[in-house]
A and B are shown apart, each in its own frame.
Chain A
Amino acid sequence: MTPVRSRRSPLVGTVLAWAAKIIVLLLAFQVVATFLSSDSLQWSVVWSYMFDGDVLAGVARTIQLTVIAMVLGCLIGLVLALMRLSPSIVLNAVSGAYIWVFRGTPVLVQILFWYNLASFLPELSIGIPFGPDLVSGSTNDLITPLVAATLGLGLCEGAYMAEIFRAGILSVDHGQTEASAALGMTRRQSMRRIILPQAMRVIVPPTGNQVISMLKGTSLVSIISMNELLYTVQVIYARTFETIPLLVVASIWYLVLTTILNIAQYFIERKFAKGATRNAPVTWRDRLPQRRKPTEKFFSHEETI
């Protein structure tokens, strides 16, 4: 049997490709047009609330929660990762158990749990186990919505960051550890100066994802009446019934913030790419389509090295 060959002329292919592009663009245009022209969206309402004082305060609170929870998450994550990688079975098991619990239950449940901690432990105290208390106080005074939100988001984040840090540290060749040990560096020096900086290349991209999902995840704490962005617009539309316009306000702000984070991530990744490739780091200018002599691009760089 002879293989079946397409006898379609190249012209037909080109026409089909263009037809597909036009159809997709028309559909996208239709969706956007419907969205923009919809009466229920009430764009004038959206604009009037965009820079409303309460909304801006909500945006600020969202940013604050994201930063605090991520910092807490990164610190816990790093400690858990080092425990997980340590030769000690006890540290290893504790770290594993933490990750198991905090990654295995929904964040929403964890936030509610911390918020309602008072009904389970009315008094919180720091002291010697089975001995006298050093500091103690009422749980209700201590666990404000902000504390509950920070604990709920940050402790859970720590479990995810632990795995990201661990993967990053394991990605660095063992020879780096041996070389630093042979030079007389301690484990701590080696981790801080040699291993972690090189692990960052693997750690940064997933951490960027985590920051973005944390930014959006802060909306979960609206359930405990924490006045972040979502809760703020909820309070407003409960009063004015302008539900959809205010949800659009919140969405636009979330989009603005995630876009800023994407740009920041790009620059951080470039910083940690130092020495990782033979060529100089690629800049955003290089990514723009430009006309260049191919020889210049492929050979001049390697030759100078």
Chain B
Amino acid sequence: MTADPLVRIDQLCKRYGSLRVLDGVDLEVDAGEVVCIIGPSGSGKSTLLRCVNFLEKPDHGTIRVDGELIGVQERKGRLVDVPVADLARQRSSIGMVFQSFNLFGHMTVLENIVEAPIRVAGQPKADAEKRARELLAHVRLEGKEDAYPRQLSGGQQQRVAIARALAMRPKVMLFDEPTSALDPETVGEVLSVMKLLADEGLTMLIVTHEIEFARDVADRVVFVDGGKIIEQGPAAQVIDDPQEERTQRFLSRIGSAGDRETRPAV
């Protein structure tokens, strides 16, 4: 008998017009687990991630984090939206890192990190700043406190964004293609920070195209296509020995080293 999962997604459905982006997704993430979601573009993997903190409102299905329903509550047997203040509180315990960093451009690095701890969590300024400096050191950006985001490289900005999300001490961190907008030479510095966090036992849900990283860091890899989970399991199994034909096709198309046998001979 294992403990309840930290994140539990049940029968999640989302459609844009007639397009079914998510078609009944079930997913559980245990505390301390690192789950990488891979799949072709348009497969619904980003939408799945954005539903977890209700940046996208699902049409059907539920998300629970630490046992608490996100975005909705049960009233007389029906699910209704929670008040906005409750949604804000729920979101504050779910960290999110975006593909395009989305740092606050008019604030310095330090101000970016302490904004939510002070305004949302109500921490004293001195405590928040002390913790922010520790986090900056953790993502190897000491001395950048007073820089503005536009003065930093993409990799540095993304590491600030990670520190900003961590400042709220989230129960789970969501990463939405964190390295897709980066120059190739700065991808490594972001991935190594993420690996560090994974090693420290942070619960992470990562949408990524970095197959090598997924193989290296993920406890579990989930392959999504057409709004459905096609296959999931340990990284070594899903990436190096995929059972489903769609997974094999995807991995061979992006040139993963794992399935040399299935790649057409040159």
- What CA separation (Å) do A180 and B66 show in the bound complex? 22
The answer, yes or no, to whether A181 is at the interface (CB within 8 Å) is yes
A176–chain B nearest beta-carbon distance, Å: 6
User: Hey, which chain B residues are within 8 Å of A259, CB to CB?
Assistant: none
A175 touches B100 (CB 8 A): yes
B168 touches A184 (CB 8 A): yes
User: Hey, which chain B residues are within 8 Å of A180, CB to CB?
Assistant: 104, 116
The answer, yes or no, to whether A193 is at the interface (CB within 8 Å) is yes
B55–chain A nearest beta-carbon distance, Å: 6
A274 touches B106 (CB 8 A): yes
Given that A183-B92, A185-B88, A275-B149 are known contacts, is A176 also in contact with B55, CB under 8 Å in the complex?
A: no
User: Hey, which chain A residues are within 8 Å of B149, CB to CB?
Assistant: 275
- What CA separation (Å) do A186 and B55 show in the bound complex? 13
Chain B: CB-nearest residue to A184: B92
| A261-278 residues at the B interface, CB under 8 angstroms | 272, 274-278
B120 touches A274 (CB 8 A): no
Give the residue among A176, A181, A272, A278 with the most B Cβ atoms within 10 A.
A181
Interface bits A161-178 vs B (CB < 8 Å: 1, else 0):
000000000000101101
User: Hey, which chain B residues are within 8 Å of A189, CB to CB?
Assistant: 119-120
B205–chain A nearest beta-carbon distance, Å: 13
Interface size on A, as a range, is 20 to 34
B55 touches A184 (CB 8 A): no
| B68-117 residues at the A interface, CB under 8 angstroms | 84-85, 88-96, 98, 100, 102-108, 115-116
| Complex partner residue of B148 from A176, A181, A187, A274, CB under 8 angstroms | A274
The answer, yes or no, to whether A305 is at the interface (CB within 8 Å) is yes
- What CA separation (Å) do A165 and B150 show in the bound complex? 24
- What CA separation (Å) do A305 and B120 show in the bound complex? 31
B222–chain A nearest beta-carbon distance, Å: 21
B105 touches A186 (CB 8 A): no
The answer, yes or no, to whether B45 is at the interface (CB within 8 Å) is no
The answer, yes or no, to whether A198 is at the interface (CB within 8 Å) is yes
- What CA separation (Å) do A184 and B115 show in the bound complex? 11
A275 touches B107 (CB 8 A): yes
Give the residue among A181, A183, A194 with the most B Cβ atoms within 10 A.
A183
Chain A: CB-nearest residue to B151: A305
User: Hey, which chain A residues are within 8 Å of B93, CB to CB?
Assistant: 184
The answer, yes or no, to whether B53 is at the interface (CB within 8 Å) is yes
Given that A176-B102, A198-B106 are known contacts, is A182 also in contact with B148, CB under 8 Å in the complex?
A: no
User: Hey, which chain B residues are within 8 Å of A176, CB to CB?
Assistant: 102, 104-105
Given that A184-B168, A185-B116, A185-B120 are known contacts, is A179 also in contact with B98, CB under 8 Å in the complex?
A: yes
- What CA separation (Å) do A133 and B151 show in the bound complex? 60
The answer, yes or no, to whether B21 is at the interface (CB within 8 Å) is no
B106 touches A186 (CB 8 A): no
- What CA separation (Å) do A198 and B103 show in the bound complex? 12
A183 touches B164 (CB 8 A): yes
A179 touches B105 (CB 8 A): no
B149–chain A nearest beta-carbon distance, Å: 7
B102 touches A179 (CB 8 A): yes
- What CA separation (Å) do A184 and B95 show in the bound complex? 9
B115 touches A183 (CB 8 A): yes
B98 touches A198 (CB 8 A): no
Chain A: CB-nearest residue to B147: A305
B148 touches A183 (CB 8 A): no
The answer, yes or no, to whether A197 is at the interface (CB within 8 Å) is yes
B54–chain A nearest beta-carbon distance, Å: 9
The answer, yes or no, to whether B165 is at the interface (CB within 8 Å) is yes
B158–chain A nearest beta-carbon distance, Å: 12
User: Hey, which chain A residues are within 8 Å of B89, CB to CB?
Assistant: 184
A278 touches B150 (CB 8 A): yes
- What CA separation (Å) do A179 and B116 show in the bound complex? 10
User: Hey, which chain A residues are within 8 Å of B161, CB to CB?
Assistant: 179
A280–chain B nearest beta-carbon distance, Å: 10
- What CA separation (Å) do A275 and B150 show in the bound complex? 7
Chain B: CB-nearest residue to A199: B106
Chain A: CB-nearest residue to B152: A305
B23–chain A nearest beta-carbon distance, Å: 24
The 19 sampled A-B contact pairs (Cβ below 8 Å) are A176-B104, A176-B105, A178-B102, A179-B161, A180-B104, A182-B53, A182-B55, A182-B165, A183-B92, A183-B116, A183-B164, A184-B92, A197-B106, A198-B104, A198-B105, A274-B106, A274-B148, A275-B148, A276-B105
Which residues of B line the A interface, CB within 8 A? 53, 55, 84-85, 88-96, 98, 100, 102-108, 115-116, 119-121, 147-152, 161, 164-165, 168
